[in-house]
Each structure stands twice: as C-alpha cells, then as structure tokens.
Structure 1
Amino acid sequence: MTADFNDITEALGAQQAALAMLRVIQGRQLGADQLEVFYRYFAERGVSVTVAVFKEWIAQIQRELDSQESLKQLAKVWTERLGEHASFTPQEAEEFHHQYASVLDTNAIIRQPVVVGYVEREAGSAFDLELSQPARNIRWTLLYTVSGQATLKAGIRDLTISPGDVLLLPPNAMYSLKRSTIARRWNHFYISFHPHTDWRHHLDWPTPAPHVGYVKVPKSERKKIRRVLEDLVDNSLHPSAVMHDLEANLLLQFILRCSSYFSQSHHRVSDNRIDKAKRFVEEHLSEAFTLEQVASAVHMSPSRLAALFKEHTGLSVFSWRNERRLIQAAHLLRSSDQAIATIGAKLGFSDPTYFSRTFRQHIGCSPKAYRHQRQSDVANGL
C-alpha cells in the first residue's frame, strides 16, 4: 500500500513539475507553490543548488528564450497539444520531462564558479541521457561514479566506467558518455568548474583517451572521497559568508586526493623518442608513411618503436594516427564549412566513403550528422 501511495505521489509531483517547466519556457512567471514543486523535482534528481540560484537559472532561461529555438518549439508543441485544460497525464508528463531534458543544456545557464550534484541515471528515466562535449564549452567537468556502469567513447577508444572511477573532462575533450546497456543504472557525482591558475597544474592526469583524464580511487579510499563530495553538495545548498572559500577548498581537496591515487607509471619521465614519433605522425598526418620511416626518424628499430609506442599510448602507431585524424576531422566539421570530402582528403582519406565509414565507426554517427548536430547546438545557443 505504501509503495502504491509513493508511486502516486511521485507521479503527481512529476505532473506538477511538468506544468511548471512548461510555464517557464512559455515565458510565464511561476507562483511560489509552482516554484517549490519545480525546485523539489530537480533537487531530488541531483541539482544541488539553493532556491535562489535555481530561480536565477529560470530567469536566465527566460532571458535567452529568443535564441533558444528548441525550447520555444517544445513550448509551442505542448501548448497546442494540451489545449485549454493545460494539464498532463502521468504518461504525458514523463514524455515531456524526456524532451525537456534532451534540449536543455545547463552549460548555457550556469554562471557560478562551481556546480556540484549527484545524479541517478536509471534506465528509461528522463535523466538517462548521453553526455557529450557541448558545442561552446569553457568549463571543466569531474565525474565520480558511485554505482552502476557507464561507457565512454573518446577518440577511437571505448572505456568502461565503474564504481570508483573519476573522469576529468576539459573543455577540449571530444567524448560521449552514457549508461552502459548492460547496467540498469549509472549513479555519479558531478562537478562543473573553472580551474584556478594557482592549482591548474594539478589537472595533469593520466589520459587513457585523448584529453580525458582518469583515475581509479582505491576501495579503501572511497569513503573519504564521498565525504568530500557530500560536503561540497551540502555547502552548495547552505549559503554562508564563507561558502565560496569552502567550495574552492573542497574542490581542491578532491582534486589533490585524486592526484595522490595516480599510479607510479604516470610520474615516470616521458620517453623523448615517443614524443618525437608523435611529432613525426602529427607533421605527416595526411600522408602515407611506413613504420620503418617513423622508426628511422627517431633512431629506433621498428619492432622496438611499435612495442614502446603501444606501452606509452595504448595504441599502435597507425591507430594513434587515425585517432588524431578523426579528432581533427571533428574539429573541422564543427568549426568550418568545408565540404566533408575536402576535410577527409586533407586528413589522408582519399575515398569519401571510407572516411564516412571510419568516422561513423569510431564517433558513432556520419560526418554529415555530426556537423548538423553541432550546428544545431550553436544555433540554439548551446
């Protein structure tokens, strides 16, 4: 009986929150009760900010509605669909939440230095979304997985993210991250921030994929890490005269603790020969070359270069070259209007079909679809 009552209460809350969301993107004001329902709905799903900050987020969304075509279209569709009665069924509310979550990018409205929260991404929920690099991003992100499992695609790497894993995603990281299909949930803390120049050097993390930092927190240390994150969340919900100082202190503490878990191999001196091999590949990215040519340029035998390159990068010389090509292709697709075939040819893909197939295989969509999505994000102010 209690479970049934809780289900009914949750469904009612979702319907009321949907109405509040719709009013916001219609450009209408919320009453005190509507604001409370709206805030509670998001607070229960990991948005750990004060009511005052939440109200400012709403105001920011409404100030920028004229440039948010996707939100305006969503408001138009649902205003017409609901008609005069303007109420959601439980099924409609769930559908609306999914659509709202998919088009709202918090990077466009977040203004405070640090935003932290805890998210439960359950299969089928409105928050069960794929995360990817925003088109216009200047913030760094930390993600600490508590339970469940996620899959990270970055460059041409596919990595499984499990409990205890911390990801550091700088603004230039090209990635997609989502709940693993074999897991029912992926629950994690997140921190969105701007690094301070005094401790920026502490963000030199091991990178198992291009521009993506990673560390595994030992099981014996996870309670400490979680306490720091919970203190960050608590601090964000209880304003005080020292709120921002505490915030900065706790964020740095989290980063320093993560740095202390690096394996010794991360601190070893890089091999100058591998650095030279990488430079050779970068300088000849669009050209055909052999392993023997790379080895000759760095004064090594081909077999020794192949083994050492794989040890340092996790990829073969030619897989690393292909990864760099695709990263550069993605950059050009986002930032230029050059023809797709031209971009492929510039990066050594003489066959446009092969370029498209390779891009789709590793990035998850065709070059055309990737460009269209990024241009759509920019048009919508994301």
Structure 2
Amino acid sequence: MAKIISSPRMIYAGLGRHDRDAPNRIRRPQGFSYWLLEYTAGGVANMHLANGTVEAAAHSIFLFEPGAPQTYENDESRGPWLHYWVCFQPRSEWIDWLNWPRLDQGFGMLKRLDETVSNRVKSCFDDMVKTLHGPLPQREALAMSLLEQLILWCDSANPNKTAQRLDSRVRRAMAYICDHYREPLTLDDIARASGISPSRLAHLFPQEVGITPMRYLEQHRIEIARQRLAATSDSISAIAERVGYGSASYFSKVFRSVRGCTPREARQSATGA
C-alpha cells in the first residue's frame, strides 16, 4: 500500500530525449518521496526489477510509488528514448486509478496502450508540460486537472481498475475533510462522519494514508490557500479565514511548516510579482 505523504500537488513534469550521446541511467535505491509517472513516446527503456528486466517500449507507461527503488536506463541500441515524465502527489480519489498491475514492489506498468488511449495520454502530457511551464497564475491547478485526465485515460486500459485500495471508512473521512475543511473540525467530528470510533480512525487513517486525519486536514487547507494565493488578489488574512484559520499569524506559521515558505513568498513565486 502506497502512502499519501503530502497534500495533492504537481512537483515537476517534462519531456526528455536520451541516446548514446546523452544517456539516461537512473539508480535510486530509495526512490522518491513522491510518485513518478513516465510514458514512452519512442524508443525503449530497460527497467531493472528484482525478478529481471522489463522493456518500457513505445506506448507503455510506468509508475513508481513513493519509496520504490528506481533502476532503469535507455536502450542505446534501440534508438533515442523519448519520454514524458511527471512527479506528483496524488489526490485521494486517484489511488484506485493508480492501482496498476505491479511487476515489482512499488512499480506498476501498463504495456503498449492501444492507439486511442496512447494518443490521449501523449496529448495530456503535451498540454500538461506546456501549462506547468507557462505564464498562467493557475498553471499548477490546470496541470493537475490535465494529469487527472491522463490517469483516467490510463484507468480505461487498466485491468485492475475494479480493485479498491483504501478502506471505505478512510475514504469517507477524507471526503468529509475536503467538504468541511473551513469548519473547526475535530477528530471526533471526522470519526462520527466516517462511521468509526475516534481511536480506530486515529490508528487506521495513518496506516492507510501515511499521515493523521488532522495533518491531512491541515495540508488540505494549506493547498487550497496556496491555490488562492496564486489565483486571486485576496489578502492573506482573508484567505486564512476562508480556509479555516481565525488567526493570520497562525495560518502563516502552519503554511511555512507545510510549504517551506511564507504565504507572501508563495504568492510572489506563483505570480512573479
């Protein structure tokens, strides 16, 4: 079970081309703390797994969960490896859609997507990379919506798509938090809405999600605030109140602990102002 260790966000995305003159040899025994998704548009990459080597040929897409070892390289004998990639933290509802066939611990793959799905995935990647690196204030939110479309297209070709990965009570808790984040929620409130005792939720939620319910609430509030800082001219105090914080100073303290910068710095980074 992969852990959701941070609020949903786009970390980075790009398009790479690798050949004999510019090889791509990845050796990350501990992987990343976030998810990595890559799509092969041309050429071949060799994925070195515990039980052997698997080819990621054209129209294949592969996924590393947080902490999964990453060992792969372009096959120089098969021409240039052209691939799109994106690093991200998923939204809670994406977890079922990312339950792909696992070829190794933390490594999933969909081989040789059919033409329709492959073309849609490539188009989503094209738009996502351009949007994320473009000038729009809402570029990350728009890129996340394109990533969601991409994952849904992959899910249409996923043989595991009927499987459920999160406990239904945890799913209800996450949904309740996302619907009521502006309110002064307590663990008891969330547990009551989820049909589970507070003590059981306090144990089960971190087991399934990787963080406590209250930390998930905190991170969700800060993510909504980050989006509003980038997309509106609302004051920091108004945004703090909107996401459930009565004190702007406390909001700024929490924002820094989650994002590593102040709300003002986040706005300047997003808008270039």
Name the TM tier (shorter chain): 0.5 to 0.7
User: RMSD value over aligned CA atoms?
Assistant: 2.2
In the TM superposition, residue 134 of structure 1 has moved relative to its aligned partner by 5.6
Matching of residue 121 in structure 1 with residue 15 in structure 2:
no
TM-score normalised to structure 1 length: 0.38
Matched residue count: 155
Task: Give yes or no for contact 1:236–1:243 (8 Å, CA) kept in 2.
Answer: yes
Distance 1:250 1:121 in 2: 25
Match status 1:233 vs 2:129: yes
Q: Give, in angstroms, the shift of residue 267 of structure 1.
A: 5.2
- Residues 225 and 113 of structure 1: is their aligned pair in 2 closer, same or farther, counting only changes over 3 Å? closer
2:91 equivalent in structure 1: 196
Higher helix proportion (structure 1 or 2): 1
* Counterpart-to-counterpart distance in 2, 1:214 and 1:208: 7
Tell me: CA distance 1:145–1:199, structure 2 relative to 1, closer, same or farther (3 Å).
Answer: same
Counterpart of 1:244 in structure 2 is: 140
The structure 2 residue matched to 1:254, chosen from 150, 166, 187, is 150
Classify 1:269/1:119 alpha carbon distance in 2 versus 1 (closer, same or farther; 3 Å): closer
Structure 1 letter corresponding to 2:58: P
Query: Greater Rg, structure 1 or structure 2?
Result: 1
Paired residue secondary structure (2:18): strand
The 1:199–1:267 alpha-carbon spacing in structure 2 relative to 1, beyond 3 Å, is closer
Distance 2:88 2:116 in 1: 27
1:123-174 deviations in Å (ceiling 9; x for gaps)? 122xx12113364721110000010111111112210110000000112222
Aligned counterparts, 1:278-357, within 5 A: none
**Deviations 1:201-239 (Å, cap 9, x if unpaired)?**
322111122221111311233222111111001101213
Which has the higher relative contact order, 1 or 2, with Cα contacts under 8 A spaced 6 or more apart?
2
The answer (yes or no) to whether the contact 1:155–1:175 under 8 Å persists in 2 is: no
Structure 1 counterpart of 2:35: 140
Tell me the alpha carbon deviations over residues 170-206 of structure 1, each in whole angstroms, 9 at most, x when there is no partner.
1222231101143122110010111122422322111
CA distance in 1, matches of 2:85, 2:103: 20
Misfit runs of 4+, over 4 Å: 267-270
2:58 maps to which of 163, 181, 192 = 163
The residue type equivalent to 1:262 in the other structure is N
* Aligned AA (1:113): M
Corresponding residue of 1:220: 116
- Report % sequence identity: 21
Cα 1:220–1:241 shift into 2, 3 Å? same
Query: Could you list the runs of 5+ residues in structure 1 that have no partner in the other structure?
Result: 1-111, 271-382
> What residue identity is the alignment partner of 1:115?
Y
Alpha carbons of structure 1 residues 186 and 269: separation in structure 2 relative to 1, 3 Å? closer
Change in Cα spacing, 1:199 to 1:269, as seen in structure 2 (3 Å) is closer
Q: Which has the higher strand share?
A: 2
Structure 2: distance between partners of 1:226 and 1:183: 21
Cα distance change on mapping 1:238 and 1:134 into 2, 3 Å:
farther
What amino acid sits opposite 2:46 in the alignment?
Answer: T
